[in-house]
Amino acid sequence: MPNSADEATSRRRWPRRLRRTVVVLLAVVLLGAASTYGWAWSRLNNDVDLVKVEHRPAPGKGTNYLIVGSDSRDGLSQQDKKNLHTGSAEGRRTDSMMILHTGAHGATMVSLPRDSWVTLPPFTYPMTGKRPGPSKNKLNAAFSLGGPELLVRTIEHNTGLRIDHYAEIGFAGFVNVVDSVGGVRMCLDKPVKDKKSGADLKAGCQTLDGRQALAFVRQRHQEANGDLGRSQNQQKFLAALAKRAARPDQVFVPWKSLPTVGAGLDTLIVDKGSDLRTLMSLFKAMKQVAGGDGNRLNVPVANRGLATSKGDALKWDEGRAKRLFERLRNDQPVGRRG
């Protein structure tokens, strides 16, 4: 049997062993975090140069992110395109646009319907060098004509808000992110069936996989408010996705969180001033909105069926929209939450 001297020696050694164990574990965690950061950083696509945007408004208070869902089919096979009902159009166009404002009063997410009737400001088109004067068009035309830079320029011109950061994700990235978190639970108050998007969902609570989720956020033909209704669905789903991805069983389990990060980065396009800390701040703000500690709004609309040379469009309520954007620019409360 060990004598008392041996026991005393063992007791003295135990704290040293514990400290060494803790140091080793911390080193492993920090090394893993650094490796993950480097891996994720290397995959980040900083493709949008906001410095090129002309005649920008002065910076306001708080931070404004422009979140864009595009119909880019990069990363999709022909079979994927068929299964997801995406069609086979080349290039990319906007399917959704949201301003996420963060500041002293929490987070506010404002949807800008793609059919919004706005002024496209003068812009030099990079492919032709031509510079047409200002013209009226739907908001999504800005992206198709001049890419992210013209979209940012158009939104700044029509809202007076300065966009600090840009984040865009395509179809493939969206589907992959949803699937990587194991799907997102949504509660629908009515069935959703839309042949064009492929949506075929029952009423009630259910978990949507990536394919079903994409169909849900794209459909608008059965929505009473059309593009406005779709914007509300997109906000609701995005908040639910952020909440699901932030669950402890997702964030703190490496083999679950790493696929989520990778799935998101595969088709994510951001501005040159963004890094992973920027994306974490964006994600934190989305989580705030999802948790009810924020606002989900649509830009105020006066006419949902404005007849134009480009087809029916949404006309903003200029007075109410101006007041909303002024409050965001000054980082003031904007009203009800949720």
Q: For the chain, what are the domain ranges?
A: 48-330
What is the residue type of 304? R
Q: What percent of the chain has pLDDT over 70?
A: 70
Measured in whole angstroms, how far is the alpha carbon of residue 316 from the centre of its chain? 23
* Residues 237 and 185: beta-carbon distance below 8 Å: no
Domain at 48-330, CATH homologous superfamily: LCP protein (3.40.630.190)
What residues form DSSP beta bridges with 165? 65
Whole-number average pLDDT of the chain: 78
* Residues 121 and 134: beta-carbon distance below 8 Å: yes
* Residues 130 and 239: beta-carbon distance below 8 Å: no
Closest CA to 47 of 152, 121, 190: 152
Neighbours of 196 (CB within 10 A): 12
pLDDT at 50: 94
Q: What percent of the chain has pLDDT over 90?
A: 32
Instruction: Say whether pLDDT at 154 is over 80.
Output: yes
**DSSP state at residue 149:** H
pLDDT digits (tens, 9 = 90+) for 174-196: 787 888 778 889 888 888 888 87
The reply to whether the predicted model has a pTM over 0.85 is no
The pair phi, psi for residue 150, each rounded to 5°, is -70, -35
pLDDT at 220: 72
What residues form DSSP beta bridges with 268? 169
258 falls in which pLDDT band (50, 70, 90)? very low
Neighbours of 252 (CB within 10 A): 9
Residue 226 CA to residue 214 CA, distance in Å, equals 17
pLDDT digits (tens, 9 = 90+) for 53-98: 999 999 999 999 999 987 655 555 565 555 555 555 554 667 789 8
pLDDT at 251: 42
Residues 6+ apart with CB under 8 A from 181: 241, 244, 245, 250, 256, 260
pLDDT digits (tens, 9 = 90+) for 16-46: 555 555 555 555 444 444 444 454 555 567 8
